[in-house]
Structure 1
Amino acid sequence: MSIKDRKERDKLDRRKLIIESATKLFLEQGYEKTSIRNIADDIEYSPATIYLYFKEKDEIFYVIHEQGFDLLNKEFVNHNQIKDPFERLAELGKIYLNFAVTNPDYYDLMFIMRAPLTEIKCHSKWEAGDNSFQYLLQTVTECLEQKLIVAGDPLIVSMAVWSYVHGLVSLFIRERLQSVDIEAEQNPNLLIQSLEYFLKTLKV
């Protein structure tokens, strides 16, 4: 390995370490209470070293979002081969549920934790985040065109589907279902069954 290659690998390793530390601290302390100095102390770097890679903590938060959405989008695309759009819609919901249950930390940071997303405004278009929703919107639009679900505005229907599934996983991740004696952790199929019931209300 050349010196140039080694230096490039070291840079990538440092960047990965910074992101991992920030992810952990955001989850433990919250976004507001986590500072660049906190992250630097956690990995025994100087704050100046962190700033060589990221201009502010919001940029780190943005990168974490990008990684999360990339993982989710790859799962979505794997189901392109499903021809029936209603069946595909059901699979998207299950993928979303599974992603949240399997990656609760990512999901918390992506969809639940309160934090400013000013970095997104610096981009003309947020590809990673938009791609996930556009995939849902496209599938819903196909369902409507083929009259497989109750007529409605594609955007409104897509928002309703997303909101419903988000509500399910948020209750699960934050362990709110236990407060009403629903042991979803022992029976995650309850989430799938609830999703299937909701989708039946849309079907023609």
Structure 2
Amino acid sequence: MIYEALSCLVDEINEHFRIRLKVSEDKVILSAIVNQDGSIAIQGENKILLTLINIEKETVGRNNSSFSVASLGINKSPVLTVNLHVLFSAYFSNGNYPESLRFISFIIAFFQQKSAFNRVNTPRLDPEIDKLIFEMASISPEQLNNVWGCLGAKYMPSVIYKIRMLTYNNNIIREIRPLVSDVESDNNIDNS
């Protein structure tokens, strides 16, 4: 569900940039900033990175007790509502700092115009997602320093948003996509 929400968001912003800025390439990508080994995770430059930096349980406004009707044989787990904290960071080449500031401004303007996503205003939103509400996070310089330190990266122009109310229920797992690690050739198949 997290991937579906964030990939939809990337598609929406890229579509907005194609229309408003007349750019042909995707400027926003869903990516970590650095790999686990400390190397840069981004292919290319001059991109806005969308990176998940935190998941927290929503504690306001939800009844988190389980629903149980023993006589009917029903025992349903409660829904879990989470908030996501995402970082939009401008990964632009050294001589392109002014452009990085422009694109961070474009991100802020995008969410000023459209701070709530639902299936009416965002048809490509996953059917399991009811609504996503975006609010800019206000964090201190010390907290920002901690975020970038935890990410293991040098600071880039960035903005953090809180995405509210992503709801999980017991229908969340629809498929598993295992990694393909080795492909066997057709020559190894016994035709007897």
TM-score interval, normalised by the smaller of the two chains = under 0.3
Give the TM-score taking structure 2 as reference length. 0.22
User: Greater strand share, 1 or 2?
Assistant: 2
Structure with bigger RCO (C-alpha 8 Å, 6+ apart): 2
Give the TM-score taking structure 1 as reference length. 0.21
